[in-house]
Structure 1
Amino acid sequence: MPLITSAGVGSGLDLESIIKASVDAENVPKLQMFASKQESLKVELSSLGEIKSAISKLKDTVEKLADPKNFGKRIANITQPSSGDIIKVTPTSDISVGNFKVAVTQLAQGSRAVSADGAFSSVDDVVSASGGTLTFAAGTDKSFNLNVTAGMTLGELRDAINADDTNFGVTANIINTGGAGGSKLVLSSNVTGSNNDLVVTSDSAELDAIETYDDTNNPSGGMTTADDDKARDAKMTIDGLEVVSSSNTFKDAVQDMTITALAVSGDETNGYDTAKLNIDYDRESVTKLIDSFIADYNNLIGNIGFQTRIGKPLNGDASMRSLDDQLVTALSTPLTNAGPFKSIFDIGLGINNEGYLEKSTLVRSLNEAMDNNFDDIGTAFAGENGVAKQLESLLGNYVDSDGLIKQRETNLNGQLDDLEDDVLNHEFRMASLEERLRKQYAGLDVLIAQMQQTQSYLGAQLANLPGFTKSK
């Protein structure tokens, strides 16, 4: 028998309202309880997420503080001469601080070779009728070979040199003099340093005009390299001492420092201008890092205070109280091998009455600590027993993949999943309850309808009896 979906049709009773009221009495309180629990779990997850984000941000900064390299940086302060910029400097963390006077007396250059007057009248002159091989070399380890095809012109030779994939740094150009000199082939090498002149040789007499000779040995009218065009070293004086480099980069001329020569500073006759170079600790980057640490630490303390106040889901949370206490304990770690600093509070930091970290001058200021014991500040944070090392481990216990907050998030998400299952099970039970009530009330509906039909029948029969009078 199909389920009656509109109860009360037969009897005329409002059975739909009765069924709905019966189901609601069971359903509504449960749904309200589920909604309340879901909201509570989500709010707790959100609060934990805020704390976790603050911890992660602090941990990122702490990891930088735990790296000794961030305290070993040096900065080069250069006062260039009035003639212009002559040097740039890259110090390493190993260099000692100090002051230097630097003058650039010669820049390094590669060599340049020029073809002889009248060797070529135009770019269309044929270099070789039968072809051959040119070999280009500079120094002891730079060379490449170029195949010269039969009938190749001077212009085509230039293009072939510049386009060769094995070319180590030779540039070919053609200068049209417009006079008796004709068109000159100019070869420039980027290989700098004394005795690294470009040398061009060939396997064919037809290519003699491309071969290189110096200006005193040019028996066959080949390309020459004038004295001013020869490859040469760079030279500079550092505190009056001359140093030489095959390139414009001087590595370890001052130990653990790279100086790049940019321009010659004057001349020998009138005297060379000097640049004043000061190598100092990179105080600014360390100060910014410590400022970030203070800001991120205070952000975490503020978040813990906000999320644990009355009315918040983490109010009275034991793990949050424990984290707060452990943070202070980590900051108070006794230091070793950090010079005069016995704790982090000796370098110019302190904790105020509200638990926030701040710069303090009760013992000494941070600037004073940097002035007198810069390297010890690095030890205070990044040393074996440094504060950053302690905090890095502590914070990792909370936010790493197996940390306490991750475990709680997993647990709360699990409860949300279970709650969804409970809601589905409850909806099934409510559907079953409604179905059962409808079956029960369907039977009642039919019974009452039958009774009403019987009543009507009996009334009609009685009305037909002689002497029967219907009551008024």
Structure 2
Amino acid sequence: MAGIRFSGMASGLDTEKMVKELMNARKAPMNRLIREKQVTEWKRDAYREMNSLLMDLRTSVDSLRFSANFNKKKAVSENDGAVTANVVGSPTQASYAVKVVGLAEAEMPASMAIELDASIKDTKTAIGGGTLNLTINGKAVTVNGTETLDQVIANIKKETGMDATFSGGKLWITSTPGMTLDSSGGKAFSVTATGDTSTVKAPAAATSSDRTGKAAEVIINGVTYTSKTNKITVDGVEFTLKQAGTAISVNNQVDEDSLFNTIKDFVTKYNDTIAKINAKISEKKNKGYEPLLDEEKDGLPEKTAEKMEAMAKSGMLLRDSILKTGLDNMRRGMSTPLSGTGVNAAFDTLSEIGIGGPPNGKYAYQENGKLYIDENKLRTAIRNNGAEVTKLFTSFSNDPADDAGTKYQKSGIAERLYSDLTKVIDRVTKEAGSSSSISDDSFLGKKMKDEEEEIRQWKDRLLQIENRYYKQFTAMEKMMSKAQSQGSWFAQMLGKSQ
């Protein structure tokens, strides 16, 4: 803590200003450290930004490493009017002979219509007439002319458990599907009426039976299947039955659109990633600009300070060797031909399936490895040589006798790229750490901690120096004050002696 400070009381000097100017000179080494720490932090953040891009690309590449993702199928029926099909699992058969023997029919409940007088237009008014006694499967329901149709319907539901609705000028009584309706356990029910039938014209006696549901029957590759509905799943394919008739063919084909879009999305992600990294490692550094200190920011308009900081931040990763090496390795992995047993030499590079460098009229060196797709050529390769396309992306060597170079050549595009991305991600993480990690043992993380500790030490040292300056000025002020007091005393004594 600073002691009592006397600021120019005897000397008339602005000691606060003098100390501040002296300290500004002393602060130069600490300010240099503060700027260096800010540069270190900017560089760390720039690395982490690039690492996020690389991780997103690796996630996209990961799905291309496995052949299962290249074997997506779609089922195609030769007659969609009879049967449609949709792949919902992993089919093992290439085609199916399908014959629909019969379609499923839902169970229909028994129902009975009771005629109502034309004067009854809705369920809210009284039905009129006298008392009517309905007997529904032996259960009595009394209908009073003063009741509304809503009340009659409620009574029927309460006494019989059956549904009743008003439609088309009639009162419909409907059983619940499958319920036992008569004492013999059957599914028929009867309605009889006695009393005043002038407004509720129920038949003297009538019966109705429900219709039992019917299962669908279909023969698929010689095996008969039944289903309660007109959908049935066999061998990972869901068949929707629409019309009975002669046998038709349903074929499993490579889902060309799905695979094409998967590869196209990967190429788009790859191009976007390398474009951003190339822009970062070629971003020029603006000479003469450095991080602003807090007091410098306070003395500038906000937009000016932001612009100067942006100029100082540029070029943090100019010609960075880690990222440049990573890009070079990825380009090599994308262009090196695939080798190994069973590899078709006509489909051992990306260019042979329609993925390559710039089209005519463009210069490859200006594109920095950007990939272009010949859509017709890629679709043709997927359609006619799907197995070769799969190998090109997913092949890998599990032969322990293969050295690193041989394993690399036998690895597919996705396998190589995934490995190269993992290596550069690990290097960047070692250099700059990860924003998702609690601890930071990276090179730049440790450097920032060292810089923070050195800045802290400088602050302590400068505080001691500042206190010493004030003590010296305070001592001077005290001496001058004492001298002035003594001078005044001598002057008084001399005045008295005269």
TM above 0.5: yes
Label 1:456 to 1:333 Cα distance change in 2 as closer, same or farther (>3 A). farther
TM-score under structure 2 length normalisation: 0.64
Task: Give the equivalent residue in structure 2 for 1:230.
Answer: 212
Task: Give the equivalent residue in structure 1 for 2:12.
Answer: 12
CA contact (8 A) 1:349 1:366 kept: yes
Counterpart of 1:371 (choices 383, 386, 390) is 383
Task: Give the equivalent residue in structure 1 for 2:275.
Answer: 302
Whole-Å Cα distance in 1 between the matches of residues 138 and 421 of structure 2?
77
User: What is the 5 A alignment of 1:126-141?
Assistant: 126=139
Give the C-alpha shift of residue 455 in structure 1.
2.7
Task: Give the equivalent residue in structure 1 for 2:368.
Answer: 355
Counterpart of 2:183 (choices 208, 212, 226) is 208
Whole-Å Cα distance in 2 between the matches of residues 463 and 440 of structure 1?
34
Label 1:232 to 1:17 Cα distance change in 2 as closer, same or farther (>3 A). closer
Whole-Å Cα distance in 2 between the matches of residues 97 and 455 of structure 1?
117
- Opposite residue 268 of structure 2, the aligned amino acid is A
- Report how many residues are paired: 386
- Opposite residue 64 of structure 1, the aligned amino acid is S
Does 2:109 match 1:109?
Answer: no
Does 2:94 match 1:90?
Answer: no
Q: Please list the CA deviations of residues 293-341 of structure 1 after superposition, one character each: whole Å capped at 9, or x if unmatched.
A: 1122122222222221242122232211221122123222624444442
Whole-Å Cα distance in 2 between the matches of residues 155 and 3 of structure 1?
96
Does 2:420 match 1:405?
Answer: no
The 3-state SS of whatever aligns with 1:388 is helix
Whole-Å Cα distance in 2 between the matches of residues 3 and 242 of structure 1?
101
Label 1:264 to 1:407 Cα distance change in 2 as closer, same or farther (>3 A). same
Whole-Å Cα distance in 2 between the matches of residues 175 and 295 of structure 1?
60
Q: Please list the CA deviations of residues 193-234 of structure 1 after superposition, one character each: whole Å capped at 9, or x if unmatched.
A: xxxxx6959xxxxx6244459xxxxxxxxx9967xx334331
Hey, which of these two has a bigger chunk of strand by percent? 1
Structure 2, unpaired ranges of 5+: 114-132, 141-154, 189-206, 286-314, 358-363, 397-410, 433-439
Q: Please list the CA deviations of residues 263-308 of structure 1 after superposition, one character each: whole Å capped at 9, or x if unmatched.
A: 436xxxxxx5998856431111111111121122122222222221
Task: Give the equivalent residue in structure 2 for 1:246.
Answer: 227
CA contact (8 A) 1:122 1:183 kept: no
Q: Please list the CA deviations of residues 411-467 of structure 1 after superposition, one character each: whole Å capped at 9, or x if unmatched.
A: 32343344333333322222222212212221111112222222333344445665x
Label 1:208 to 1:19 Cα distance change in 2 as closer, same or farther (>3 A). same
Whole-Å Cα distance in 2 between the matches of residues 408 and 10 of structure 1?
58
Whole-Å Cα distance in 1 between the matches of residues 111 and 474 of structure 2?
116
Counterpart of 1:291 (choices 246, 264, 271) is 264
The 3-state SS of whatever aligns with 1:65 is coil
Counterpart of 1:257 (choices 223, 227, 237) is 237
CA contact (8 A) 1:76 1:277 kept: yes
Counterpart of 1:391 (choices 417, 421, 426) is 417
TM-score under structure 1 length normalisation: 0.67
Whole-Å Cα distance in 1 between the matches of residues 371 and 470 of structure 2?
71
Whole-Å Cα distance in 2 between the matches of residues 121 and 434 of structure 1?
109
Whole-Å Cα distance in 2 between the matches of residues 68 and 348 of structure 1?
19
Does 2:37 match 1:38?
Answer: yes
The 3-state SS of whatever aligns with 1:13 is coil
Structure 1, unpaired ranges of 5+: 128-152, 160-171, 189-197, 202-206, 214-222, 266-271, 467-472
- Counting aligned pairs with the same residue, the percent is 18
- Opposite residue 415 of structure 2, the aligned amino acid is K
Task: Give the equivalent residue in structure 2 for 1:334.
Answer: 338
Whole-Å Cα distance in 2 between the matches of residues 394 and 277 of structure 1?
42
Whole-Å Cα distance in 1 between the matches of residues 268 and 163 of structure 2?
60
Label 1:460 to 1:360 Cα distance change in 2 as closer, same or farther (>3 A). same
The two structures, once aligned, show a CA RMSD in angstroms of: 4.4
Task: Give the equivalent residue in structure 2 for 1:136.
Answer: none
Task: Give the equivalent residue in structure 1 for 2:25.
Answer: 25
Question: Which moved further from structure 2: 350-359 or 367-376?
Answer: 350-359
Label 1:123 to 1:41 Cα distance change in 2 as closer, same or farther (>3 A). farther
CA contact (8 A) 2:95 2:249 kept: no
Give the C-alpha shift of residue 156 in structure 1.
4.9
Q: Please list the CA deviations of residues 342-390 of structure 1 after superposition, one character each: whole Å capped at 9, or x if unmatched.
A: 23343222244333242366xx921231232112212221233322122
CA contact (8 A) 1:112 1:186 kept: no
Give the C-alpha shift of residue 99 in structure 1.
9.1
Whole-Å Cα distance in 2 between the matches of residues 249 and 157 of structure 1?
38
